Amino acid sequence: MENLHEECGVFGVYSPKKTNVAATTYYGLFALQHRGQESCGIVVNDEGVFNHYKDSGLVNDVFTPEVMAELGEGNIALGHVRYGTTGKGDRVNSQPIVVNHVKGRMALAYNGNIVNYMELRQELEMTGAIFHTTSDMEVISYIITKERLNSHSIEEAIDCAMDKIKGAYSIVVMSPQKLIAARDKNGFKPLCYGQTKDGRYIVASESCALNAVGAKLIREIKPGEIVIFDKDGIRTITNHCEKEKEALCIFEYIYFARPDSVIEGQSVHKARMIAGAALAKDYPVEADVVIGVPDSGIDAAVGYAKESGIPYGVGFIKNKYIGRTFIAPGQKVREDKVRIKLNTVSETVKGKRVVLIDDSIVRGTTCARIVKLLREAGAKEVHMRVTAPPFIDLCYYGTDIDSKENLIACTHSLEEIKEVAGVDSLGFLRKERLYEMVNKDENKGFCMACFDSNFPTELPTEFSNSKYEQKIVK
C-alpha cells in the first residue's frame, strides 16, 4: 500500500415517477465509497426544486437519517464521493455542484482531471468569472453554462463543451427534466448504466453500484458518448466517439475498482487473478504460503497460489473501520493508519517462506512496514510480487502521482528497491502481461503512461494549482 489515491465516484438515477431516489443514491454511493473518502454529496430533483447536501466525511456519517429525510423524494438524483486530485479536500470542493443560470439550473458531478484546467480557469477569469472552489469541476460547470446560453438544450451545451475540455472526465449532469452522462474522448474513467426492474435508469462509475441498488448492467458508456435519460427514454450523441484512441486507465483493474465490478466486459476479480498467475509464471520461487495485502492483493494472491501450487493463506486481518491508508493526506497520518489497519495472522506465516502479493510500490515506505510486520510475526522469508509494473512517470488524469521524486522506481534500481522493502526477492508484473490481464490485444487502448510515459493527450504547461488554494475556516 502506497501513496496512491482513489479517484472519485459518480452516481445518477432517473426515475419515470417520483420516488425515494435519495435512498437509491445513498446505497449507490456506499458501494462506491472505495473511490473517495474525503467528501460526498447528493442532489435530488423534486419537480424542478433541487434539494442538496454535501460535506466532508464518509457516506454513512454525512447522510444521517435527518439529512436523508430533508432530501426527500424526487425523480432524478446525483451523487458523488470524492478524493480530490485538483483542489483540497475542504467541504467547499465537495460535489455535486449546483448551478443556477438564466436558462434554468443544473447539477454536475464528475470523476477525472482536466489537463487544461489552468488555461481554462485563467481564460474564464479574464472574462469576469468568479470562482468559489479550487476544483476543476467548477471550470467544467462554467464552460457548460457558457455553451448553454447559445444552445437549444443542455445536452447540446455539453456536446460543445467537450470541444474545449481536455483530459479525463466521466460526468453526470442533472437538469429539471433530464439525467445526462458523458465520457471523455479517450475514455480514461469508467462509466456505465443499467436499469432496475421498476424502470429506473442508473448511471455509475462501476457496475458494483448498479448491483447495490438492484439494477442490471446494460452497457458501458462509450468514450466521447453523451447519453440522455428523460421521459422519452434514452438517446445518445456520438459526435465525439472514435475521435481519439481509447485510453481507459489500466489501474482500474489493478487497484481502483472493486473486484466485483465488471469493466468493458472483464471481471476485475478475474483480471487480478490473471495478474497473480502471470507473476507465478514469471517469478517462481520455493515457498510455503501465498498471502495478499487486503484488499486489492487478495485476488492476485489466489491466482498466484493456483498457478504455482503453493497454498494460499490469510496473512493479514484488516480493520474494517478505517479507510484506505492512502486517503489520509500527509505521510505521518498514513504511517499511523498502517499500524492500526493491518494485523498479521502469525499462525499463517510463522516459520514459513512467504510470497507476499500487493498491487503496487510507489514510495516503498509502506510496503517496508508491511514486510516488517511479517518478519515480526516470524516469517522466515518474504518474497514480494507486485501486480503492477514500476511507476516511472506522473499521472495527469486523476491518479495522485504528482512528482517523480516520490517514485522509488525513478531513483532506485530493482536491487535497491528490494533492499528498501526488506524482502528476499522482488518481482513486478511485466508491462506486456497487462493486456493478458484485461483479455485484450495491444491494439486495444489503455492508458499506461505511469508505467511507460506514453501519454494519450497533450500535457499541461502548468500542473500545480497551489496558487488557488485557500484554507476554509469552519
Query: How does pLDDT run across 435-455, given as a tens digit for each residue?
Result: 999 987 766 789 999 999 999
Confidence bin at 338 (pLDDT 50/70/90) = low
Phi and psi torsions of 101, nearest 5°: -140, 180
Are 355 and 18 in contact by the 8 Å Cβ rule? The answer is no
Element housing 280 (H / E): helix 268-282
pLDDT at 250 over 90: yes
Query: How does pLDDT run across 364-402, given as a tens digit for each residue?
Result: 888 999 999 999 999 999 999 999 999 999 999 988 776
Query: Per the confidence metrics, is the pTM higher than 0.85?
Result: yes
pLDDT of residue 469: 43
pLDDT at 305 over 90: yes
Confidence bin at 322 (pLDDT 50/70/90) = low
List, by residue number, the catalytic residues.
Answer: 8
* Residue linked to cell 484488499: 295
Where b means 16+ CB within 10 Å and e means fewer, 264-298 reads bebbbbbbbbbbbbbbbeebebebbbbbbbbebbb
pLDDT at 329 over 60: no
pLDDT at 214 over 70: yes
Asked whether the bond before 96 is cis by omega within 30 degrees of 0, the reply is yes
Q: Name the DSSP letter for residue 104.
A: E
Measured from the Cβ of residue 27, the count of other Cβ atoms closer than 10 Å reads 16
Element housing 266 (H / E): strand 266-267
Measured from the Cβ of residue 320, the count of other Cβ atoms closer than 10 Å reads 7
pLDDT of residue 474: 37
Measured from the Cβ of residue 150, the count of other Cβ atoms closer than 10 Å reads 9
Q: Top-level CATH class of 262-452?
A: alpha beta
Residue 231 to residue 216: CA distance in whole angstroms: 20
Beta bridge partners, 13, equal 77, 202
Beta strands per DSSP E along 8-73:
8-19, 39-46, 49-56
Residue 172 to residue 110: CA distance in whole angstroms: 6
Query: How does pLDDT run across 195-207, given as a tens digit for each residue?
Result: 999 999 999 999 9
Measured from the Cβ of residue 473, the count of other Cβ atoms closer than 10 Å reads 5
Beta bridge partners, 14, equal 76, 201
pLDDT of residue 404: 87
Residue 255 to residue 391: CA distance in whole angstroms: 14
Q: What is the 3-state secondary structure (H, E, C) of 161-195?
A: HCCCCCEEEEEEEECCCCEEEEECCCCCCCCEEEE
The contacts of residue 163 (CB under 8 Å, 6+ apart) are: none
pLDDT at 459 over 90: no
Mean pLDDT of 93-99: 93
Per-domain residue ranges of the chain: 8-244, 262-452
Beta-sheet pairing, 226-230 with 179-183: antiparallel
Are 179 and 230 in contact by the 8 Å Cβ rule? The answer is yes
8-244 to CATH, choices 3.60.20.10, 1.10.3720.10, 3.30.70.100, 3.40.640.10: 3.60.20.10
**Which runs of consecutive H residues, i.e. helices, occur in 290-407?**
298-308, 331-341, 346-349, 365-376
pLDDT at 278 over 70: yes
In the three-class reduction of DSSP (H, G, I as helix; E, B as strand; rest coil), residue 51 is classed as strand
pLDDT at 3 over 50: no
Q: What is the residue-averaged pLDDT of the chain? A: 90
The contacts of residue 176 (CB under 8 Å, 6+ apart) are: 45, 47, 48, 104, 105
Rg for the chain, CA atoms, rounded: 22
Mean pLDDT of 411-434: 96
